[in-house]
Amino acid sequence: MDYRPTSGPCGGPGIPDAHGRRASYLRVSVTDRCNLRCAYCTPAASFCPKPHQEILTYEEILAVVTQAVAMGVRKVRLTGGEPLVRRGLETLVEKIAALPGLLDLCLTTNGVLLADRAKALADAGLKRINVSLDSLDAETFARITGRDALDSVLSGLEAAEAAGLSPTKINVVPLAGINAREAPDFARLTLEKPVAVRFIELMPVGPAASRNRVAGVDTQTIRRAVEDALGPLSPIPGHDLLDGPAERFALAGAKGEVGFITPVTGHPCPSCNRLRLTADGKLRPCLLSDAETDIRSVLRSGGSERDIQQALAAAVAAKPAAGPRNQGVLSGCARVMHSIGG
The predicted pLDDT at position 271 comes to 81
What local confidence, expressed as pLDDT, does residue 41 receive?
Answer: 77
Asked if 259 contacts 251 with a C-beta cutoff of 8 angstroms, the reply is no
Look at the chain and count its residues. Answer: 342
- Contact call for residues 306 and 243 (beta carbons, < 8 A): no
Identify the bridge partners of residue 76 per DSSP, sorted by sequence position: 26, 105
Tens digit of each residue's pLDDT (9 = 90 or more) over 54-101:
999 999 999 999 999 999 999 999 999 999 999 999 999 999 999 999
CA 131 from centroid of its chain's CA atoms: 10
Half-sphere exposure of 132 (CA within 13 A, CB side): 26
Give the model's pLDDT for residue 130: 96
**pLDDT, position 240:** 54
Report pTM. 0.89
Walking along the chain (342 residues) 10 residues at a time, the average pLDDT comes out as: 43 82 95 89 70 96 98 96 96 98 97 98 97 98 95 98 94 95 98 95 62 79 97 85 78 96 79 93 88 95 97 93 58 56 58
Task: Give the chain's domains with CATH numbers.
Answer: 15-339 (3.20.20.70)
> Strand ranges (DSSP E) for the chain?
15-16, 22-23, 25-29, 75-79, 104-109, 128-132, 169-172, 196-200, 233-235, 247-251, 257-261, 274-277, 282-284, 293-294
